[in-house]
């Protein structure tokens, strides 16, 4: 029987996030309240990679385990989230968009939404015991790009992180949560063992290690709802609209993907 471990998805932890990113951010005080609740309830944190390895091998994590993940690589993780986590002895996984890093230099790609981590800050995050995973290089919608572009996104981000941090990168989070059988096959071929989708549900029986679901934490997530989510309660009601929209949007995306690749091939002629 699969162990029920909640996997939570955060983005920014900021008092005043830029316009357009507020919904997926949390206030530092709100984040501290989450950690205090987890400590009070006796939860322990595991990294996303530790969860993936437990699922792969059939091992069990300690009871009342929870996984905290952060997407994109915002600088406020270093400024606000990291001190709060360290103060309580908690771990987290940070999925980094390598082309968005503040000092990406000639490797810069995509359009960051806020102030991003630097390589040196990322090194300090890793040195504090946090897991660093990949989140693509330019934050592209991986299910919509051509096969060569997909391989570049997956391999470049992994290679840069491993080269700079001198540590293997086995975990991936799909930008926007979008994947497909083709994307998951390429992720496995690139050397990723575990990958995070969104899903907004708890991990079920016989999970796909390259599409493990997470639950979205927003600025609008009350402490009561957070508590219920971690305990596996009220998930259906909380995310019913999200899942309906995701299902409808997935149908649209499946139709768009072939057209995107046709346009890319036409542009190369």
Which residues of the chain are modeled with pLDDT < 50? 241, 243-253, 259-269
Whole domain around residue 253: which residue ranges?
A: 7-267
Q: What 8-state DSSP symbol labels residue 214? A: E
CATH value at residue 220: 3.20.20.370
Distances (CA, A) of 179 to 190, 202, 262: 15, 18, 19
Closest CA to 21 of 107, 132, 100: 100
| Residue at 51 is within a domain | yes
Total domain count, the chain: 1
pLDDT of residue 18: 79
pLDDT of residue 21: 80
pLDDT of residue 54: 97
| Residue at 35 is within a domain | yes
pLDDT of residue 264: 43
Residue carrying the six token digits 């490797």: 107
| Strand locations in 47-120 (E) | 65-72, 93-96
| Residue at 91 is within a domain | yes
Is residue 185 within 8 Å of residue 164, measured between CB atoms? no
What whole-number distance in Å separates Cα of residue 96 and Cα of residue 134? Answer: 5
pLDDT of residue 248: 42
């Amino acid at each position: 029987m699969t162990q029920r471990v909640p996997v939570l998805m955060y983005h920014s932890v900021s008092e005043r996030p830029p316009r357009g990113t507020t919904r997926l951010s949390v206030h530092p005080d709100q984040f501290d309240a989450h950690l205090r609740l987890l400590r009070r309830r006796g939860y322990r944190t595991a990294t996303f990679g530790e969860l993936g390895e437990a699922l792969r091998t059939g091992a069990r994590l300690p009871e009342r385990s929870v996984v905290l993940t952060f997407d994109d690589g915002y600088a406020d993780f270093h400024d606000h989230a990291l001190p709060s986590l360290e103060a309580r002895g908690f771990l987290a996984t940070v999925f980094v968009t390598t082309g968005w890093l503040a000092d990406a230099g000639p490797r810069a790609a995509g359009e960051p939404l806020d102030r991003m981590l630097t390589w040196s800050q990322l090194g300090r995050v890793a040195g504090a015991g946090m897991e660093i995973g990949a989140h693509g290089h330019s934050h592209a919608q991986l299910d919509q790009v051509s096969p060569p572009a997909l391989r570049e996104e997956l391999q470049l981000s992994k290679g840069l992180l491993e080269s700079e941090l001198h540590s293997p990168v086995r975990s991936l989070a799909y930008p926007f949560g979008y994947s497909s059988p083709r994307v998951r096959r390429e992720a496995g071929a690139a050397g990723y063992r575990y990958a995070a989708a969104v899903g907004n549900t708890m991990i079920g029986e016989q999970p796909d290690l390259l599409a493990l679901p997470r639950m979205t934490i927003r600025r609008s997530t009350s402490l009561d709802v957070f508590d219920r989510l971690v305990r596996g309660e009220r998930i259906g009601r909380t995310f019913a609209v999200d899942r309906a929209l995701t299902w409808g949007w997935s149908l649209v995306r499946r139709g768009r993907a072939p057209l995107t690749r046709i346009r890319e091939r036409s542009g190369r002629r």
